[in-house]
A and B are shown apart, each in its own frame.
Chain A
Amino acid sequence: MNTTLRLSDLKAGDRARVTSIQAEPAIRQRLQEMGLTRGETLVLEKVAPLGDPMELLVRSYHLSLRREEGACIFVEKEG
């Protein structure tokens, strides 16, 4: 059984699966619309030079998120 982490706790190069998003409805819907739905696999590609925001590879496109939003997304690390 994998432990659940926040997306913002991942390191560059980590691969993880989304388990849930806990944020107010508008933000959660925005994140889901961008493809971060439950069960979806993502890769944390890199972190911006100043440590925030982060760049993800999800549904084969590149998406950037602030740590603030990343902290609302719960994931299970893979591989």
Chain B
Amino acid sequence: MVTIALAGNPNCGKTSLFNALTGARQHVGNWPGVTVERRAGTFRFEKGEEGTVVDLPGTYSLSARSEDERIAASYLSEPEVDVIVNVVDATNLERNLYLTTQLLELKRPMILVLNMADEAKAQGLELDLETMRKLIGGPVVTTVGSTGEGLEALKAAVLEVAPGTSAPTMPHVNYGLDIEGEVAKLELEISRDEKLAATMPPRRLSLRLLEGAPDALEMVERSHASKAIQARLESSLAFLDDHLGADAPTLLAEYRYGFARGLVKESVKRGETPALDRSSRMDRVLTHRFWGFPIFLAVMVAVYSLTFVVGAYPQDWIGTGFEWLQAFLGSHLPEGELTSLLANGIVPGVGSVVVFLPVIMILMGCISFLEDSGYMARAAFIMDRLMHKMGLHGKSFISLIMGLGCNAPAIQATRTIEARSDRLITILVNPLISCSARLPVYILFAGAFFSPFHGALVIVGMHVLGFALAIIMGKVLRLTLFRQDQAPFVMELPPYRMPLPRTTILHMWEKGTIFLRKAGTVIFAGAVLIWFLSQYPGINDKSLAIERHKQEEQIKAQGLAPEAEKAAIDDLEFAHQGRIMNNSYAARFGQLVQPIFRPILDPDHRRPEAWKDGVALTAGFVAKEIVVGTMGVLNQAREEGEEGQLSPLQQNLRDNSGLTPLTAIAFMVFTLIYIPCLGTVGIIRKETQSWGWTGFSVGYGLVLAWVLSWLIVTLGRALGLG
């Protein structure tokens, strides 16, 4: 079976070509040990035999300085790759061909694919494939990724150069007499170590050494010939510096671009070029000094509404469906541990995961659309100044804004940020943005302890605080943990293109299934654990069960109206849940951690009810809105109330909990910061591929939450507000 690898620049249409080639026969995973996506799939040749295709991350070069480049460079030297398919954007040949010059150095069978041939034609470019073929030393085909045009020619070309056919004669960039002389000397030294020479073509290794590539230097260090090679390298570098007036990396880049420009000159005829291309015309408005911002904000509002307002409908349906299933199981299965696990643990736990699905899919669809259309780069262009001040990247902004809806998909949206440090910081500060699940907690407390006007101010204040903390933490992380790897902001503004619906839909589908499979397992396990903690050891006291049964009989004997009877029995069940909860491991844990909360929530040691805070906050780990429900169960007061009045739970909190407006604010601030919810933790784990960073995210949240709440309470009391 033939394996081909698609290599090319970002935005060259590689992925749409990959989709056209494989159709649905593809799967997405990660490259080993890193968070970069690995796409692989199969396709059929004309005669029916199967081929494998791997889509490499898009890179501008093979210098192996970024994660993407390292992956591409190392995979391309794997023996399993039979043919390199170098995809280039036919409308932007010169820059795309830079990578080609490096691919030629790999000395492997290669095909040059001029993609987006339709656009090139529309721009009046005439491509002379014969001449190109001579200059590249391998087959050259034209394709249109969006329509699948040229795929058959591509497959035929693969068979033409696949192993077993006559070895191609690959040309290479001629770097001029002086450099070539030094390269030859280095090659000679390298070839003395056969093992080293087998891992990378000596010519490529020589060039990488001259460029000062850290990975190449490391390879040499492990060789037994390292002394001789290093000595040779030093004198070569000194010689070139002296004779050519520039250092080797500069010279190599110039010769490569010289080759690229020469190739374009020989083989492309430019017809009439339009005075100003379409993308520049669009940018006159979209990145305009004044209009750029309002348009960008309008796009953000549109994406946010589509995701969290429209997405709320399917979310509600799924939620209702799971509630129905839970009620159905609870009433139709025999009572017992297993039923409880199923009805109170697994079903609501899985439900809490699956309700994320619509917003994730919609948001990922929007992000994919913005990315493929070229607007994402403009959004980053407009926002970078602000974001850079926060230690972040222009593309971080979208993720932060979407965090207002839900942090889990917002963190997935960081996929578009290339540099690892930018991405990690964006992921780590994201949970500080107040998501919509925290709103019910604010409403509960703000309503109970403040006038409507002040309550509204407090709620707005929580959101502002979240953003402020994200900004500060971003800066702090940048200056401390990520000081070393500040990636330069060098970003292409690709031409605007209409995204293919197929690509967007595939992307949504992919994100949805990955979310369910990977993050789902973490969240599922967490939900089962929380269920166990909140239900066990349970109440074994038989007399209580008998008592409850008796009460139920009494209610039924009263001959109430059916609704009143149902309400009364519900109240009994509610009280029973309260007893189980109060006796559970979670409650014990809440009591255990009570001393930790004392300085922030009970500074005077006068609240007998203070242990309930710890229980509610522990339960809130599953999802922050659960804090409200748990408070309700613990206080035996419901959160639904008459329109325009405080709910029973709010009255209870105000009158009986012992919380003051100041400690209520501390409670809200703690809820805002303390820990990402279970779903978000699952996503952080998946997106960082690291338990270390996941643990860090949880840990710093807890510490920051405590310190800040404590400061608020202590300062407030010092000012006489307590």
Interface residues of A (CB under 8 A from B): 21, 25-35, 37-40, 45-46, 48-53, 55, 59-66, 68-69
Contact = CB atoms under 8 A, between A and B. Distances in A.
A61 B92 contact: yes
**Interface size grouping (class) on chain B:** 35 or more
B490 interface: yes
B254 A66 contact: no
Contact of A25 (B98, B212, B288, B290): B212
Q: Is the interface of A mostly helix, strand, loop or mixed?
A: mixed
A65 B394 CA distance: 12
Contact of A30 (B287, B386, B490): B490
Contact of B254 (A31, A38, A55): A38
Interface string B237-258: 0000000001001100110010
Interface stretch (B57-65, B160-168, B177-185): B57-65
B205 to A, nearest CB: 17
B553 to A, nearest CB: 72
A50 B493 contact: no
Given A49-B292, A52-B384, A53-B385, A38 B65 contact: no
A60 B276 CA distance: 11
A52 B488 CA distance: 14
A68 to B, nearest CB: 8
Contacts of B63: 29, 33
Nearest to A46: B287
Interface in B190-244: 211-212
A49 B382 contact: yes
B155 interface: no
Interface of B: 60-61, 63, 65, 92, 94-95, 98, 211-212, 246, 249-250, 253-254, 257, 279-280, 283, 287-290, 292-293, 377, 381-382, 384-386, 388, 394, 488-494
Contacts of A59: 94-95, 257
Q: Which 3 A-B pairs have the closest CB atoms?
A: A50-B385, A32-B253, A62-B493
Q: Is the interface of B mostly helix, strand, loop or mixed?
A: helix
Contact of B249 (A29, A45, A60): A29
Contacts of A61: 92, 95, 492
Nearest to A72: B488
9 contacts: A29-B211, A32-B254, A34-B95, A35-B98, A37-B257, A48-B384, A55-B381, A61-B92, A64-B491
Contacts of B386: 50
A62 B490 CA distance: 11
B53 to A, nearest CB: 26
A1 B381 CA distance: 34
A37 B253 CA distance: 7
Contacts of B288: 49
A66 B492 contact: no
Contacts of A63: 490-493
